[in-house]
A and B are shown apart, each in its own frame.
Chain A
């Protein structure tokens, strides 16, 4: 079938694009490999979703449900249980072949959206050695077993990584009757949102130990213990550390955008985000008509921003801009999305998402268009895990620069 846009991935990012595209009368097809739409949100049974967008504290499934109902209600079509096996381009049209239990199928559209989400870094990818028993799980995998399958993978857990999923799983496991011996973080600062540290650890008396990592796993059939050791700034162990008996090691050590389909199309990835480079409408810099949204583009901490970025892409589909791209210069940022700016687009509000490389009590964000300061914004409690969102109406001609500076208190 021919569509105006094919969206690969039916999580919040894909749904956001579909809603906006359908609103504009575009025929959208969502391809989702699982049987249900909603992506990873379906297993996120905790609340806190939608605070910015709806002013309500929703659970993940509730948030997803609203978007599924809206998108399908507006006429977006969804192919669930379908897996993309190839993408080819012929005369400006993208042909997407999928497999499902119904057979093989090919659909096409002049616009393509990657909303493929991200995957978790594994225990082995952070240099954990020792045996390979049952009971070593990534946080997402653990969450799947507990929240969707009703199983408990262990009774005494050690959690490595203070990212949001790690924190949330510490609380979940505690609520389900397991003991969490502690959350360990190799870096000097927690990786998750402050509110999650309070609500998931402090409220339950779960200890958080910084600059300490798991170095070794013991146990033949099941985890029997892990060794944790203090590390230096380069995350190298500085002593033998101690052995903690446990039957479950949950690792929450980072998310990696799923971009194998994108790279198979020859798109290149940015170092900072491990996603592709895009303009302010989330369109790939080196491919007209291809958009990347959500965690496939860069890993978000709030779903509300995922939806916002996706809707920006949805609002641009088929606009046929004759792009004139300039690279956005930055100072003191670990990354910015978009990385490029289309100066041919009509002057309107644009949103920039960025992260600070380090924590600051106070910071100043400045935007310079063609060398002229057009916006200055004061920030408090800047932390790398908390994404900075900046809204700015700007119409540069030659250059756009965004800088972050620390302000002395």
Chain B
């Protein structure tokens, strides 16, 4: 039973007397209107009661603010009209893609819809790519459960899908000498959750970081790793497609019709779909999908994070992930693990993220303030970081709930609805484990048989720059396009770009190519290769060059033909 009176008292004590609190769908619904976003967030936090409530539904309006409508695909057609997949997965981030692949292990039909022009365009591309150890996550939470299980699944996944991972470990540095005394507690926490950890002296820390900014030692979590989160998402999606799943990009869910707590059909911009089961993996919009499906018991309050990418030449400054020891307070505020300096799988250094609460779910713009915050904070950790090493920066929005917990469940309300919602960090790590549980529920739901033809193996696009001489020579002999370097900074060949364009999940944009083969991800940021990539896309797919986009319809790189060139 929700303890409304307790929550009421908390709200009143903080001066939020105008805010209404009521029981709704096993959770607490807040309503009313307040003047600033921080107050609305504070009310949401005050209403958290994980023991007695399913969650906080925060409907308090921000005075004078109308949320922008979600970014919608430009096209409308009837391509999916009348489709009857066994399972409809909503959302093509790493969670949705992992679920789609996992579901192809069953003898069922799977359709995944994604409203953007590619998979992995939201949080799944906009994070640091860490395979977290999980030491910093609260024990006995969904987060830690899926994190630890997911971490262990990554080696197999990496082998099967031909997506490289590394486990350089995460070095956590103490910020004060007395924190050393807490090590036994950390070790115990590790033991309880099955996370290996060992102490690191200040002297030993220098083996991992050229010049550590903090000189009190720390501890190492050797199971922490790194992966390209977008490449992993693409690989999961491609393998799902090869195993029979259908993935429809540029497809947005606009309504869900239920009858008697049972979803009957789902409306999209591309027609009405009649699935047996619906899976919500809609990221920052997962509460909206939950509402459409009739089981809303949580609220996403978007939290933007900014990360900066440093040139590969900065790699020598840190050889593992470096973070600082943060003792999480009880206020529930500022849920960030403090970020750090991450050595990416491609051996760039990445610093961040910041944490900035915002009512805007899709505002991925960076600001000077948030960027400065990131840079200054992490330079304390690794003092040798230099501004001149920064090649780019980006922002992403985390799908945080007020409980700061994953919502992974078979809905107890809507009988053919499964949620993998409110997934933020460590979502990349957790995704494979979440997907396993979703498969189990779907199997039960549909009494589905296992798919004996499931092929877990995906052959990735060859990374030519990493091949040995004889292998490289043989590949060029077989296909001369692998000899021609197009992106000079990352040494990406024409053959790799063409392979990306003819992969099982067809793509046609410059950014989609970039995520798959890294063309344009180096220090010149596509200055040299972008016009060449546009030409290759145009020639390969038969699209006129002026129609080739950076990231889907409306983002043409050079939308006009010059007078006289027609």
Contact = CB atoms under 8 A, between A and B. Distances in A.
A122 B484 contact: no
B473 A222 contact: no
B527 interface: yes
Nearest to B509: A134
A221 interface: yes
A153 B549 CA distance: 11
A134 B564 CA distance: 24
A199 interface: no
A269 to B, nearest CB: 11
A160 interface: no
Contacts of B564: 150
B530 A149 contact: no
A119 B392 contact: no
A102 B555 contact: no
B556 A222 contact: yes
B535 A149 contact: yes
Residue picked from A144, A218, A221, most chain B C-beta under 10 Å = A221
B527 A119 contact: yes
Given A103-B473, A125-B390, A151-B545, A130 B366 contact: yes
Interface string B460-493: 0000110001001100110011011100100101
B148 to A, nearest CB: 35
Contact of A103 (B366, B393, B476, B550): B476
B521 interface: no
A140 B528 CA distance: 8
B394 interface: yes
B367 interface: yes
Given A122-B527, A149-B531, A176-B563, A101 B554 contact: no
A221 B550 CA distance: 8
Given A99-B476, A99-B485, A124 B391 contact: yes
Contact of A101 (B483, B523, B562): B483
Contact of B488 (A33, A120, A149, A155): A33
B162 interface: no
A81 interface: yes
Contact of A141 (B392, B484, B531): B531
B476 A134 contact: no
B565 interface: yes
B557 interface: yes
A129 B366 contact: yes
Interface residues of A, number: 49
B230 interface: no
B552 A151 contact: no
B558 interface: yes
A216 B363 CA distance: 14
Given A145-B557, A151-B546, A129 B365 contact: yes
A263 interface: yes
Contact of B555 (A129, A134, A146, A260): A134
Residue picked from A148, A155, A260, A263, most chain B C-beta under 10 Å = A260
Contacts of B393: 124
Contact of A124 (B390, B550, B565): B390
Residue picked from B473, B535, B550, most chain A C-beta under 10 Å = B550
B562 A176 contact: yes
B15 interface: no
A242 B109 CA distance: 53
Contacts of B535: 149
B485 A103 contact: no
Contact of B491 (A85, A102, A119, A263): A85
A125 B526 CA distance: 13
Nearest to A264: B313
A155 B562 CA distance: 11
A129 B367 contact: yes
B483 A133 contact: no
Residue picked from B390, B476, B524, B564, most chain A C-beta under 10 Å = B524
B13 interface: no
B75 interface: no
Given A134-B557, A141-B528, A141-B531, A150 B565 contact: yes
Nearest to A219: B555
Interface string B526-566: 11101100110000000001100111111111111111110
B185 interface: no
A130 B365 contact: yes
A176 B559 CA distance: 14
B210 interface: no
A133 B550 contact: yes
A73 interface: no
B531 A148 contact: yes
Nearest to B488: A33
Nearest to B470: A104
Contact of B531 (A85, A119, A145): A145
B71 interface: yes
Contacts of B481: 101
Nearest to B367: A129
Contacts of A131: 364-365
A317 B554 CA distance: 53
Given A124-B390, A125-B390, A220-B71, A146 B480 contact: no
Given A122-B524, A138-B527, A141-B528, A153 B558 contact: yes
B368 interface: yes
A102 B483 contact: yes
A145 B558 contact: yes
A99 B468 CA distance: 12
Contacts of A132: 364, 394
B550 A152 contact: no
Interface in B78-96: none
A104 B467 CA distance: 12
A238 to B, nearest CB: 13
B531 A222 contact: no
Contacts of A119: 523-524, 527-528
A151 B469 contact: no
Contact of A129 (B71, B371, B476): B371
B557 A104 contact: no
Interface in A366-395: none
A217 B394 CA distance: 13
Interface in A230-267: 260, 263
A124 B562 contact: no
A148 B562 CA distance: 11
Interface string B491-526: 101000000000000000000000000000001111
Contacts of B368: 127, 129, 215
A327 B546 CA distance: 53
Contacts of A104: 469, 472-473, 476, 483
Interface in A125-171: 125, 127, 129-134, 137-138, 140-141, 144-146, 148-155
Contacts of B364: 131-132
B491 A83 contact: yes
B477 A144 contact: no
B365 A151 contact: no
A282 to B, nearest CB: 23
Contacts of B549: 134, 221
Interface of A: 33, 81, 83, 85, 97, 99-104, 119-120, 122, 124-125, 127, 129-134, 137-138, 140-141, 144-146, 148-155, 176-177, 215-218, 220-222, 260, 263
Given A151-B561, A260-B313, 18 more contacts: A103-B477, A104-B472, A104-B476, A119-B524, A122-B525, A122-B527, A124-B525, A125-B390, A129-B367, A141-B530, A146-B562, A149-B534, A150-B562, A152-B561, A153-B557, A154-B558, A218-B365, A221-B552
16 contacts: A104-B483, A119-B528, A124-B525, A129-B368, A130-B367, A131-B365, A145-B557, A145-B558, A149-B531, A150-B564, A151-B565, A152-B558, A153-B558, A153-B560, A154-B560, A260-B313
Interface of B: 71, 313, 364-368, 371, 390-394, 464-465, 469, 472-473, 476-477, 480-481, 483-485, 488, 491, 493, 523-528, 530-531, 534-535, 545-546, 549-565
5 smallest A-B Cβ distances: which pairs?
Answer: A150-B565, A151-B558, A101-B480, A221-B554, A134-B550
